Amino acid sequence: MNFVSLKVLHSKTLLKNCFFSFLNFDIKFYRQVHKRRLNIFIVKRSCKSTLLPRTRCCQHLPNSFFSTVFYLGAAEMANKSSEGLPLKHVLSKLHAFASPALAESWDNVGLLVEPVTPRPIANILLTNDLTEAVMQEALELSTDLIISYHPPIFIPLKSVTTKTWKERLIATCLENRVALYSPHTSWDVVKDGVNDWLARAFDNEKVTPLMPHINLDPNSSLRVDVSVPSTLNRVSILQALHDRTTQADRELVHYNVLPSSENMVSLTCSESFKHLLSDMFPKTSHGSSGDLIGVSKYEGIPVAGHGTGRLCVLKKPISILEAVERVKKHIGIPYVRLALASDKDQDALISTVALCPGSGTSVLKGVKADLWLTGEMFHHDVLDAVHKGTHVILCNHSDSERGFLTSFADTLTKLLDSKVSVKLSLSDCDPLKTV
């Protein structure tokens, strides 16, 4: 019998939902364990479940010390090698919920760490921030994929060593073959994402994005609106558009027909397509087809319900004190910071709320609303808001975002047909506390 050393990973909950098994302690077993990354606890047969300390290794012990090993592991991991879904499949479901293309241009979203050797995703851990405490929790839960709302890699890394805590996180993911995904602002922008979750703190009549997300066609720089003469109809114009361009033209000079009214044909196209337009549409009694064509710069199409921030119109006015209580209950925190508008008291009624999870200064600035709700703002921006008649509620940066993960855990479980275990991190919390 060959003896090998095993690093002990000590779970905080040892006996809950666990199973027991005696296995021969040999090289084959070790390789199996190493491949599955199971939590291993080695005990003396003669002792009563004496677990080795979590930081101690079993090296340099004589072979005779153990005849068998007794190991604990989560019951759901008994057949882990045959469980789970491919990483690409999980990513496709994440993208179906919120495409990375929705994210702000400055953001760093998507798959940030990918194991070289593919393995099934059986356990997913959701966290608002990936800290070293959350990383340790992920290892103890045998996590295959960490979804961190905030991207752990934002400022580019010049090295992956153990010098800084950010580098250690990435090194640990690589060493333990843990994939890392960050959605960040794509979850802010998407309909039913973080912004809409925060808006549900109130009983709303209407909720609209403060900054609508614009769907831009990368192949289009112009918008062309063609009036349909009374002697024709929209279908005939579209047919003419198709008939008078060859397949080669359509591939070379891209165009895309937009939704429009019956007496208008709207399309987007590149500059190279513009010179063909006057020949595509029939002349009328009023002159050339050019008289019917309006060309403007293509600004994109707003995507319904998608965008940054939200403006909430309440079904009925409520006091600012009731608004505070609603926010605390919805987010699950005991305290918020409140700045009352000048010349207003706590009984003042509000009927509109502008909100932005996280740091909302740039989004909320200039927005007319009775109340601004966000995680954090600069001091002088708060002063400016209250002097312009707007109340401000601040509830810590990550506390204004984290609660969304609870509802998303259920959403992701359904998207993955309950074939993957999705857990919320218990170590994840805002670093700021009111004391």
Q: Kindly state the DSSP code that residue 80 receives in the 8-state scheme.
A: G
CB atoms within 10 A of CB 114: 16
Residue 394 has φ and ψ, to the nearest 5°, of -115, 135
Any binding-site annotation on 417? no
pLDDT < 70: residue spans in the chain: 1-82, 216-222, 226-238, 240-242, 244-264, 269-300
Does the fold of domain 194-212+307-397 match that of domain 87-187+405-424? yes
C-alpha 267/C-alpha 276 separation (Å) is 13
Burial class (CB in 10 A: 0-12, 13-18, 19+), 11: buried
Any binding-site annotation on 275? no
CATH of 194-212+307-397, one of 3.90.1170.50, 3.40.50.300, 3.40.1390.30, 3.40.50.150: 3.40.1390.30
pLDDT at 434: 83
Any binding-site annotation on 242? no
Please say whether the structural domain 87-187+405-424 has been given the CATH code 3.40.1390.30. yes
Nearest CA among 403, 311, 353, 360 for reference residue 185: 360
Angle made by CA atoms 48, 51, 54, in degrees to the nearest 5:
170
End-to-end CA distance of the chain: 57
CATH of domain 217-299: 3.30.70
**CB 189, CB 102: distance < 8 Å:** yes
C-alpha 159/C-alpha 172 separation (Å) is 14
Domain ranges of the chain: 18-81, 87-187+405-424, 194-212+307-397, 217-299
Does the predicted model carry a pTM greater than 0.75? no
Q: Is the sign of the CA dihedral 132, 138, 143, 145 positive or negative?
A: negative
58 CB contacts (<8 Å, ≥6 apart)?
5, 6, 8, 42, 52
Pairing of strands 301-319, 293-297: unpaired
pLDDT at 256: 60
Burial class (CB in 10 A: 0-12, 13-18, 19+), 28: exposed
Phi-psi region for residue 49, left (φ > 0), alpha (ψ -120 to 50) or beta? left
93 CB contacts (<8 Å, ≥6 apart)?
412, 415, 416
pLDDT at 21: 35
Give the tokens for residue 255.
Answer: 């165009």
Any binding-site annotation on 345? no
